[in-house]
Structure 1
Amino acid sequence: MRTLGPALLSLCLALLAPASVWAHGADPHGDAPAWSFDPWIMLPLMLAAALYLCGTARLWRRAGMGRGVRYWQLALYVAGWLALAGALVSPLHWWGEHLFTAHMIEHEIVMVVAAPLLVAGRPLGAALWAFPDRLRRRLAGAARGGLWRWLSLPATATILHGLAIWVWHMPPLFDATVTHVGLHRAQHLSFLLSGLLFWWALLRRAHPAAAAGHLFITMVHTGVLGALLTFSPRVLYTQQTAHAALWGLTALEDQQIAGLVMWVPGGTVYAAVMLTMVSRWVRRSSRGWRPGDALRAR
């Protein structure tokens, strides 16, 4: 752990190096950091943006500008979409295939930055308006069905999201995603979908007190996982950390920094939203209180 300070500095300098550094044989795969335009990623991204923007435009034509989906919700959705696209399409994705720390940054952006921003933008309500009226009503009815109601329960969503995180971080499975494109796509899809479900349940359905409790649970168990990676005396992810030396890091240092990324920045986001929920709970409770209530309770 004493070497983490110099290791972090070395990592920052390496990530800021121009692509030409990697084009001269430093990378064992013979390629340089580049944008990735995988159709399995680009097409869903473009479809999601098209449905949201077309639905919002149609809704505003009928209800008036800023009605149904407010301007700030549109801004949050766009910010979440850009964060998601940046994580999956920018050179960060290339770095994530070569460096465990970058891979963890990519995952944290997907789960604790992009997912809550997308949910805050009210995506389902906007996207439904992109469909014809009759189909929209059918889809809205299906969205109120029993399966969705069960999946969007805060407890269910928290458990499913936690399982996705812990299962995919099993060392053999995580290492396999580095060499198998299909597994890598499945990993990112499960992180995104479970993250959207988790934030939807807490931001859209849960009572603020319950949401704070589920955020605390998630902060604790992800913190435990991050600490396990940070303080492990040996390398757990041999394939993912195989190229750490290209950034001046040992494999163990790469794993330790990745654990810190999950533990500290990720935990900070959960803690901030949790405190916001507690504040909302207190304000909601105080609005129902009147002077003299305590005396009458006695």
Structure 2
Amino acid sequence: MNADIDGPVWVPTLPPSFEQLLAPNLQPIPLLPAIALLLATAYTIGAIRLWMQGRRWSVIRTICFLIGCTLLAVVTGAGIEGYGYELFSVFMFQQLTLMMVVPPLLILGSPGTLLLRATPHGGLGRTTLRVALGALRSPAARLAVHPATVIPLAALSYLGLYLTGAADVLLRTWIGHVGLEIAFLCIGILVATPLISADPLPRRTSFVFRVVDTFAEMQIHAILGLVLMLTHTPIIPFFATIPESWNIDPAIDQSAAGILAWTYGELPLLIILIVTLSRWERRDTRQATTMQALNDAELDEYNEYLRRLSPDTTQPTPTHSDGASSASAPPEARPHSKAQHE
């Protein structure tokens, strides 16, 4: 058992089970559950404020955000948190949830848009809006959501953390453990925001880079999963001291962590990829329809202009039996059909 963890930590003694993992065993300092509760409360107040003013706000967005807050509280506040100090597979589940599941749910709630709509425009609210808009338009914000930033961050949070020995050092202290969880959540938000956010952003990532970003992250998960599954000795010494009474082999537990990285971690990315490709196709279809409508309107205007150039606008242009225009009208003054124009 990892009894040498530095800091206020509750460590379980019973073997892991579904009931024990979900039991409400809060840590002595439940920092992340408190953050989840604060976020859910602030969001709910904002949504209720809009509804009381008779302004529309999506119930679906609200549900998504509150589910994300609930998952954040459970994965860091229930027994899962304690078992994350003992089992690599549980800690990997926590990391993947904090990076791949919670952030998309929070982002789908459009908290930035809610902040702009629900915050009062006077007093402290005015200051809050100025700070929020200033941060949104800052060069740091543009850099934070750039693919050149988010892809290396995703690689460091997986490969860099576990293959360099950094995890073994950080996980031995309460500050390091909780600091990693906060970092996972923040990196997950930075990675997912350019891909799915409908909020105002300092820059919009093209669909090409969104697809490249998603594929790159999928490869990172696959590489980490293979390394963990194919390595038969513990990569993280911190997770090599599982209580003997639990009858869990550290190598098997590490392999389970690799399976989670390759399956549970890939599924959200696959969904994001499908949604991204669907949005890309709809965007191109709308643009093509708009351009066709503009071309048709320009052609109609051009044909009308040619009709006004005709010597006699009161009489219809004579046509031959085959529908062709009479030769009396000059070729340059004959109306063009859309098929000819194209």
- Kindly indicate which of the two structures has a greater share of residues assigned to helix: 1
1:60 and 2:51 are equivalent in the alignment: yes
Partner residue in 2 for 1:135 = 127
TM-score (norm 2): 0.70
Letter in 2 for 1:149: R
Partner residue in 2 for 1:284 = 283
User: Are the aligned partners of 1:215 and 1:274 in contact in 2 as well (CA < 8 Å)?
Assistant: yes
Letter in 1 for 2:93: I
Letter in 2 for 1:273: I
User: Are the aligned partners of 1:209 and 1:278 in contact in 2 as well (CA < 8 Å)?
Assistant: no
Task: For residues 89-117 of structure 1, give each alpha carbon's deviation from its aligned partner in whole angstroms, at most 9, with x where no partner exists.
Answer: 01111111111111111111111111111
Alignment of 1:160-199 (within 5 A): 160-170=153-163, 172-199=165-192
CA distance in 2, matches of 1:52, 1:156: 28
Task: For residues 186-244 of structure 1, give each alpha carbon's deviation from its aligned partner in whole angstroms, at most 9, with x where no partner exists.
Answer: 11111110111111122124333421221111010121012111111322112213106
Task: For residues 233-279 of structure 1, give each alpha carbon's deviation from its aligned partner in whole angstroms, at most 9, with x where no partner exists.
Answer: 32211221310644432111111111111111111221221122112
User: Are the aligned partners of 1:81 and 1:114 in contact in 2 as well (CA < 8 Å)?
Assistant: yes
Q: 1:72 to 1:103 in 2, by over 3 A?
A: same
User: Are the aligned partners of 2:222 and 2:261 in contact in 1 as well (CA < 8 Å)?
Assistant: yes
SS in structure 1 at match of 2:232: coil
- 1:123 is aligned, of 93, 111, 118, to 111
Q: 1:48 to 1:280 in 2, by over 3 A?
A: same
Partner residue in 2 for 1:236 = 235
Task: For residues 122-175 of structure 1, give each alpha carbon's deviation from its aligned partner in whole angstroms, at most 9, with x where no partner exists.
Answer: 122324535643113312321222211221223322322332333322463212
User: Are the aligned partners of 1:45 and 1:85 in contact in 2 as well (CA < 8 Å)?
Assistant: yes
Between Structure 1 and Structure 2, how many residues are aligned?
Answer: 269
CA distance in 1, matches of 2:193, 2:173: 30
User: Are the aligned partners of 2:158 and 2:220 in contact in 1 as well (CA < 8 Å)?
Assistant: no
Letter in 2 for 1:109: T
Partner residue in 2 for 1:36 = 27
SS in structure 1 at match of 2:240: coil
Q: Which has the larger radius of gyration?
A: 2
Letter in 1 for 2:170: T
CA distance in 1, matches of 2:18, 2:39: 33
Q: 1:243 to 1:117 in 2, by over 3 A?
A: same
User: Are the aligned partners of 1:54 and 1:127 in contact in 2 as well (CA < 8 Å)?
Assistant: no
Partner residue in 2 for 1:83 = 71
Letter in 2 for 1:138: R
Letter in 1 for 2:66: V
Q: 1:35 to 1:164 in 2, by over 3 A?
A: same
Alignment of 1:218-229 (within 5 A): 218-229=217-228
SS in structure 2 at match of 1:234: coil
Partner residue in 2 for 1:114 = 102
Q: State, as a whole percentage, how many aligned pairs show the same letter.
A: 23
User: Are the aligned partners of 1:79 and 1:117 in contact in 2 as well (CA < 8 Å)?
Assistant: yes
Superposed CA RMSD in Å reads 2.9
Gaps of 5+ in 1: 1-13, 20-31
Alignment of 1:140-155 (within 5 A): 140-142=132-134, 143-155=136-148
User: Are the aligned partners of 1:100 and 1:255 in contact in 2 as well (CA < 8 Å)?
Assistant: yes
TM-score (norm 1): 0.80
User: Are the aligned partners of 2:86 and 2:239 in contact in 1 as well (CA < 8 Å)?
Assistant: yes
CA distance in 2, matches of 1:52, 1:183: 29
Q: Cα distance, 1:18 vs. partner?
A: 5.9
